[in-house]
Amino acid sequence: MITLRDVSVQYRLISEARRSTFQEYIIRYLKGKRVQTRPFLALRDISLDIDEGESLGIIGHNGAGKSTLLKVISGVIVPSGGTVRVQGKIAPLIELSAGFDHELTGRENIYLNASILGFSRREIADKYESIVKFAELEDFIDSPLKSYSSGMIARLGFSIATEIDPDILMVDEVLAVGDAHFKDKSKKRISEFRNRGITILFVSHNMEEVRNLCNRVLWLDHGSIKMIGDAAEVISEYETQQSHMKAGV
């Protein structure tokens, strides 16, 4: 389903003694003033094959490259080097608030966001009621999104994205959002995708969730593959390293 060969992603980071705001950076750039930057490799020569129906967990410290990897696979980011090949329709649960207009109502945002994900207007109309019901937003659906809490927006984003009938589901820490009731609903829906043979890429800092959902785990460390293999084995090695780091070993 997914093949990566020697994939790298390089960013340019502002490198100055005094931290500047983004606005200051843009003003200096437009005035032609020199802005010092330095290269940063978010991903380094990643080669990876993910099979149809596989549930792959992706773990690592903050900044290890987990979210960047998902964005490369989903086409949000173009890699600086290497090749990416993906077969099938992707449902990306990466940034649940992306693609929303906070001035529009929940109803209007369903049509807007779902169209961005590739739904036709008729498909959206057919799925509209189930999206609203799963998000539990019946009483608020005609209110502007700017009146929603972050949890309500996340629920709406999750509901829209998972109404797609995808070949590949990408999940990036979305189970950390919302109340316990909705988290349980979300876990069950993701498990249903797994049981149907949908390919899943699952990013989480919760090792128990990774163990329960994934049969194989990729451990990223500073943009490189540290280890990949059986979920229990990789998680055990990762937790051992984390314990040593906390103990200062």
pLDDT band at 175 (very low <50, low <70, confident <90, very high): low
Residues 181, 81 share a domain? yes
Residues 184, 161 share a domain? no
Q: Could you give the CA distance from residue 222 to residue 229 in angstroms, rounded to a whole number?
A: 18
pLDDT of amino acid 180: 82
Residues 202, 160 share a domain? no
Phi, psi of 200 (to 5 degrees): -125, 135
Give per-residue pLDDT as tens, 191-238: 999 999 999 999 999 999 999 999 999 999 999 999 999 999 999 999
Residues 74, 53 share a domain? yes
Q: Domain total for the chain?
A: 2
Residues 191, 144 share a domain? no
Residues 170, 147 share a domain? no
Dump the DSSP string for the chain: -EEEEEEEEEEEEE--SS---HHHHHHHHHTT----EEEEEEEEEEEEEE-TT-EEEEE-STTSSHHHHHHHHHTSS--SEEEEEE-S-EEEES-TTTT--TTSBHHHHHHHHHHHTT--HHHHHHHHHHHHHHHT-TTTTTSBGGGS-HHHHHHHHHHHHHTS--SEEEEESGGGSS-HHHHHHHHHHHHHHHHTT-EEEEE-S-HHHHHHH-SEEEEEETTEEEEEEEHHHHHHHHHHHHHHHHHT-
Residues 173, 109 share a domain? no
Tell which of 107, 130, 165 closes a domain: 165
Residues 233, 115 share a domain? no
Q: Could you give the CA distance from residue 71 to residue 82 in angstroms, rounded to a whole number?
A: 15
Residues 182, 224 share a domain? yes
Q: Taking the model in full, what pTM does it have?
A: 0.82
Tell which of 165, 195, 210 closes a domain: 165
CATH number at residue 71: 3.40.50.300
Name 100's Cβ contacts closer than 8 Å, sequence gap at least 6.
109, 112, 113, 145, 153, 156, 157
Residues 49, 157 share a domain? no
Going by their DSSP bridges, the two strands 216-221 and 55-59 should be labelled as parallel
Residues 152, 126 share a domain? yes
Of the candidate ranges 89-98, 141-150, 186-195, 221-230, the one whose mean pLDDT is the lowest: 89-98
Residues 73, 14 share a domain? yes
pLDDT band at 15 (very low <50, low <70, confident <90, very high): low
Task: Name 105's bridge partners.
Answer: 144
Once rounded to an integer, what is the mean pLDDT over residues 11-31?
68
Instruction: For residue 113, give its domain range.
Output: 97-165
Tell which of 165, 199, 217 closes a domain: 165
pLDDT of amino acid 178: 64
Once rounded to an integer, what is the mean pLDDT over residues 45-69?
95
pLDDT of amino acid 183: 85
